[in-house]
Chains A and B, each alone.
Chain A
Amino acid sequence: MAQDNAIQAPEVVSESDELIARSIEQEYRWGFVTDIEADAAPKGLNEEIIRFISAKKNEPEFLLNFRLNSFAHWQTLEEPQWPHVHYAPIDFQEIIYYSAPKQKEKLTSLDEVDPEILETYEKLGIPLQEQKMLAGVAVDAVFDSVSVATTFKETLKDAGVIFGSFSEAVHEYPELIEKYLGSVVPYRDNFYASLNSAVFSDGSFCYIPKGVRCPMELSTYFRINAAETGQFERTLIIADEGAQVSYLEGCTAPVRDENQLHAAVVELVAHKDAQIKYSTVQNWYPGNKEGKGGIYNFVTKRGRADESAKISWTQVETGSAITWKYPSVILRGDNAVGEFYSVALTNNHQQADTGTKMVHLGRNTRSTIISKGISAGQGQNSYRGLVRVAPGATNARNYSQCDSMLIGDKCGAHTFPHIEVAGPTGQVEHEATTSKIGEDQLFYLRQRGLSEEDAASMLINGFCKEVFRELPMEFAVEARKLLGISLEGNVG
């Protein structure tokens, strides 16, 4: 029962269009390249490369086998064609699958991290230095494919929380990795998840023990730096019974003319009564005004919620040339709760096909989906969602709300809701609206003394409010700024 409720903006030339035409001038501000020596694999993908990556990381056998199985399976798969996005075919043999900043073998403190890298994170405004205690956020920084620094490790350890790079966790907690890796997103899941499972190089790992509420927000910043490099990171978060954690993720990349591939996998496991809140501000390089360059963001994110557990995804997607991403929750246990709050912005030639899947298996499970799509320039924005209520999931409830806002008349908004309900007790509600940023609203605000840009940003922030209020404070401020920058001068 898929349907394309495509709504193209009417072809009316108005003053706002002129302003749009005049003003999609805002440059990407995070587009610098850090000059640093990298240790990279040769281009292309074959078994040798996978063995090379695994050997580089000195991995245990179970992991090498996981990779090889994934690779074997990946070779049987075709790239998915169903998303509402268009791009030239990707040559997977032209990509470098492993690139790591050259550095000393083992880092014991931040002082040993290459100053160039620290400077990069400094430029990005990310507090890596431990002395920035006041920020109160533990950060794991992933540069190209390798985790370069994790802050507050000791503080977290005292609370029993494990947080750090995936590679380290493979050596320090192999039994956890073996138990959980691929347990939510199996390597056979889809084309990009298989690819990731074969070649992932690093990422973040987090384990919150029974009954522990993580004492601070955890955060990972991903940075793609090297050219022609794919970034394939893997994030695994486990909240044991009754544990709670809030996790933030930020991403940026340099300006490059060629498209770069980012295919990550994020797995969340929320045991009985546990809560995981996962927030993303995605700001990969979106390509230039003509649509050249930019990141292809093909990401698989999924969480498993056991009895009375809660998983909440919040995402603000402003970057990437193409976004293909459906953070999902498998509501496996009774009374489990899943939430998805999303703002996706497409400007210039950006394309986003994003949404969520809520799979209700347990009884009395509840899910909420709030999706806000904003299209400007020639951006194409699609919401794609699946709500499935399985036969045993009595009294399951879902509420979905998908709102689209169009800015200008060259963009598009589409919604593809899929709803499958088995049994008579499920309650599923779906609401969708599409609006054009109103000249009357702009005039009203300007008549009260606000500049055109402030008026527009007020309207957009109002539109996204239900999502922003789900973000942790600092992130909400960042998201608001980002949205303002991504649309600067674009409305009038």
Chain B
Amino acid sequence: MLEVKDLHAEVDCTPILKGVNLSVRPGEVHAIMGPNGSGKSTLAQVLAGHESFKVTGGSVAFDGKDLLTLAPEERAREGVFLAFQYPVEIPGVSNTYLLKAAVNAIRKHRNEDELDAIDFLKMFKSSMKLLDLDESLINRPVNEGFSGGEKKRNEVFQMMVLNPKLAILDEADSGLDIDAVKIVAKGVAQFRNDNNAVVIVTHYQRLLDYIEPDFVHVLYDGRIVRSGVKDLALELEEHGYDWLKNSDA
């Protein structure tokens, strides 16, 4: 589904990604771990098409399409979703309004009919309940006045409603208490199936206690220096990233 090959990217002429390789197949959950500044969030942003990052080499194929030539909205419509680490506030625009516009933009791209308000509500309700989101939240402006936990859960909520093929969760658990982490995990568990894939970008392995990854990759200084199964995350937890640095040298 996703083939990242020798991906290089820079911001303001500073190289951040220095040859990333990653292969994700349908039904898989990948965790990308690494210390601060290793390039984890950059990778997530580059895959989503953020224009602050310049791709200087390599390729990204998504369902056979060259992802790097697509605008951010085209990637979204093809089924790439990014749950932001820091979701921005959109004053005056309600959650429902945004989601309705987003769902219909994606449906239009797939030549499907637009959904009406009632179908939307149905779509929303079960996911909101699962994520323990208050119903009033969908009529509030996007992320405005949301608590940190609400913002993160709202990202997962949007993921469930938009139902992408590939969901990239950027530090979906940072700043959350353990109950909120469990809720986020519940959302991801509900979302995943044999046809979609999840890439979890995280500093800590805590979230992985609740979402079991099929593969764990360690990103260090812009490269994936080690890949393994979920035990790798536990090893990292135990020894810290320095252990990797040393063992790698």
Residue in chain A with minimal CB distance to B51: A15
Q: Find chain A residues with CB under 8 A from B81 CB.
A: 447
Interface of A, secondary structure class, is: helix
Known contacts A447-B72, A449-B76, A454-B105; A463 and B48 CB within 8 A of each other: no
Which segment of B86-94, B214-222, B233-241 sits at the interface? Answer: B86-94
A407-449 CB contact bits vs B (8 Å, 1 = yes)?
0000000000000000000000000000000111101111111
Residues B162 and A449 in contact, CB atoms below 8 Å apart: yes
Cβ-defined contact, A449 with B105, below 8 A: yes
Q: Is the CB of A466 within 8 A of B102?
A: no
B224 an interface residue at 8 Å Cβ cutoff?
A: no
For residue B199, give the distance in angstroms from its CB to the closest CB of chain A: 15
Q: Which A89-147 residues have C-beta < 8 A from chain B?
A: none
Which residue of chain A lies nearest to B93 when distances are taken between CB atoms in the complex?
A: A462
Interface 0/1 of A457-474, CB less than 8 Å to B? 011011111100000000
**Chain B residues positioned under 8 Å from A454 (CB to CB):** 101, 105
Distance in Å from the Cβ of B150 to the closest Cβ of chain A? 16
Q: Which residues of A contact B141 (CB under 8 A)?
A: 462
Q: What residues of chain B lie closer than 8 Å to A438, measured between beta carbons?
A: 88
CA distance A454 to B105 in the complex (A): 10
With both chains docked as a complex, state the minimum distance between the C-beta of B48 and any C-beta of chain A, in angstroms: 5
CB–CB A451/B73 < 8 A = yes
Given contact pairs A448-B98, A449-B106, A451-B73, A443 touches B92 in the complex (Cβ within 8 A): no
B71 within 8 A of A: yes
Q: Are A461 and B105 in contact (CB under 8 A)?
A: no
A448 and B102 within 8 A (CB): yes
Complex: chain B residue closest to A438, CB-CB? B88
Contact B84 A446 (CB under 8 A): no
Minimum Cβ distance to chain B for residue A77 (Å):
42
Q: How many whole Å from A480's CB to the nearest CB in chain B?
A: 12
Residues of B within 8 A of A452 (CB): 71, 73
Q: Which residues of A contact B84 (CB under 8 A)?
A: 444, 447
Interface residue B29 (Cβ < 8 Å from any Cβ of A): no
| A438 CA to B89 CA, complexed, in Å | 10
Question: Counting CB contacts under 8 A, is A450 at the interface?
Answer: yes
Q: Does B50 contact A464, Cβ atoms closer than 8 Å? A: no
Name the contact of A450 in the complex, choosing from B52, B91, B92, B102 (C-beta under 8 A).
Answer: B102
In the bound complex, residues from chain B placing their C-beta under 8 Å from that of A441 are: 88, 90
Residues of B within 8 A of A15 (CB): 51
Q: How far is the CB of B74 from chain A (nearest CB, A)?
A: 9
| Chain B residue nearest in CB terms to A372 | B92
16 contacts between A and B (CB under 8 A): A441-B88, A443-B72, A444-B88, A446-B76, A447-B82, A448-B99, A448-B102, A448-B105, A449-B76, A449-B109, A451-B105, A458-B90, A459-B90, A462-B91, A463-B91, A464-B92
The 5 A-B residue pairs with the shortest CB-CB distance in the complex, in nearest-first order: A462-B92, A465-B92, A462-B93, A448-B102, A449-B76
